[in-house]
């Protein structure tokens, strides 16, 4: 065999080996490319899943803070925009690295918002607790105040009742005025031209001293009012009276008399009431003229 034939055979062998290596490398590169594309596609899907989960977390957040609500709205819009952009792009290493870095930035922003919301919720819970405690304390104090007011009202009512003047005796009689100005008692209606109403005001150490005005109401058998027929109103209560009597009260027992005149008197039963200056009824009597 010649030298030329040997060289030719060696060249063919080397070429065959090179072709085999090239085929192996091509197959290996193809497999690697397929694996890389699959890995990139999977990584892209993971980023989309993470973004979708982050979007769902934002949708579930509810807060009353306007500032945080504005930040949440902006963050949700940013995630939605980013999700749309990554869904429509082909996956490659450089792009996915940018997307992953951007996702980490959004996740960090989400964590900051969550922490802010947690702080606000804790602050609101503390404020609610303090408010409830304040309301409870106010309710207790209101109850105490109502009890004090009630006791004070009861005490005032007791003092007012104790300070009211009372009559220990009342004498009523039909009288006839004589020419000298004196009066004589009469039991028959014919000569009577007035009623004499006398009463004793009892001693009261806690009553206010000074001028007092009492009101006498006399009605004839037909229910008509005798005397002046004037009216007085005190604290929403009104009274038409026959005559008012003013006297000086100095906390000591005192006798008071007055006369209620009429044009004519007929036989029958006359009613006589005496009221104090607060229009409280002190005495109610009946006198009969024959």
pTM of the model: 0.49
Query: Same domain for 195 and 263?
Result: yes
Question: What is the DSSP track for 213-251?
Answer: EEEEEEE-TTSPBPTT-EEEEETTEEEEESEEEEEEE-S
How do the pLDDT tens digits run along the chain, 290 residues long? 566 666 666 666 666 656 656 655 555 444 444 444 555 566 666 666 666 776 676 666 656 566 666 766 776 676 676 666 666 555 555 566 666 666 667 667 767 767 777 777 777 788 888 888 888 888 888 888 787 777 666 655 555 567 788 889 999 988 988 888 788 888 888 888 889 999 999 999 888 899 999 999 999 999 899 888 889 999 889 999 999 999 999 999 999 999 998 878 899 999 999 999 999 999 998 999 98
- Look at residues 102, 122, 142 and tell me which one is the last residue of a structural domain: 122
pLDDT of amino acid 109: 72
Identify the three-state secondary structure at position 170. strand
| 201 touches 178 (CB < 8 A) | no
Query: Same domain for 189 and 242?
Result: yes
Query: Same domain for 172 and 277?
Result: yes
Query: Same domain for 189 and 80?
Result: no
CB crowding 265-283: b at 16 or more within 10 Å, else e: beeeebebbbbbbebeebb
pLDDT of amino acid 211: 94
Query: Same domain for 267 and 201?
Result: yes
Query: Same domain for 112 and 186?
Result: no
Q: Number of C-alpha atoms within 13 angstroms, CB side, residue 48?
A: 14
pLDDT of amino acid 240: 93
Query: Same domain for 175 and 275?
Result: yes
pLDDT of amino acid 268: 92
Instruction: Give a yes or no: residue 49 inside a domain.
Output: yes
Instruction: Give a yes or no: residue 76 inside a domain.
Output: yes
Identify the three-state secondary structure at position 97. helix
Q: Is the dihedral of CA 217, 223, 227, 228 positive or negative?
A: positive
Query: Same domain for 11 and 68?
Result: yes
How many residues in the chain?
A: 290
Query: Same domain for 103 and 191?
Result: no
Instruction: Give a yes or no: residue 137 inside a domain.
Output: no
* Structural domain count of the chain: 2
Instruction: Give a yes or no: residue 9 inside a domain.
Output: yes
Check which CATH number belongs to the domain holding 273 and give it.
2.60.40.10
Query: Same domain for 13 and 91?
Result: yes
Query: Same domain for 14 and 68?
Result: yes
Domain span at 9: 3-122
Instruction: Give a yes or no: residue 242 inside a domain.
Output: yes
Query: Same domain for 172 and 75?
Result: no
CA-to-CA separations, 215 to 50, 64, 212, 277, 280, in angstroms, rounded: 94, 69, 10, 7, 10
């Amino acid at each position: 065999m010649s030298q030329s034939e040997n060289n030719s055979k060696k060249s063919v062998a080397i070429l065959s080996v090179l072709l085999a290596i090239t085929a192996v490398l091509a197959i290996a590169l193809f497999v690697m490319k397929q694996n890389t594309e699959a890995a990139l596609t999977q990584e892209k899907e993971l980023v989309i899943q993470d973004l979708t989960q982050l979007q769902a977390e934002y949708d579930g957040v509810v807060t009353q803070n306007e500032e945080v609500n504005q930040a949440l709205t902006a963050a949700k819009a940013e995630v939605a925009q980013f999700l749309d952009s990554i869904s429509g792009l082909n996956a490659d290493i450089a792009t996915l690295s940018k997307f992953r870095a951007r996702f980490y930035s959004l996740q960090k922003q989400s964590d900051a918002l969550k922490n802010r919301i947690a702080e606000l919720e804790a602050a609101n819970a503390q404020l609610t607790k303090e408010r409830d405690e304040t309301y409870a304390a106010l309710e207790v104090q209101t109850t105490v105040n109502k009890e004090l007011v009630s006791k004070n009202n009861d005490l005032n009512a007791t003092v007012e009742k104790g300070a009211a003047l009372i009559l220990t005796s009342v004498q009523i009689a039909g009288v006839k005025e004589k020419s000298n100005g004196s009066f004589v008692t009469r039991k028959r209606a014919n000569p009577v031209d007035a009623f004499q109403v006398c009463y004793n005001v009892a001693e009261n150490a806690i009553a206010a001293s000074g001028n007092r005005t009492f009101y006498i109401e006399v009605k004839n058998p037909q229910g008509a009012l005798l005397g002046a027929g004037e009216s007085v109103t005190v604290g929403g209560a009104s009274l038409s009276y026959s005559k008012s009597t003013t006297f000086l009260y100095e906390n000591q027992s005192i006798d008071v008399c007055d006369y209620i005149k009429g044009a004519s008197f007929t036989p029958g039963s006359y009613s006589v009431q005496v009221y104090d200056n607060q229009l409280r009824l002190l005495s109610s009597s009946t006198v009969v003229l024959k």
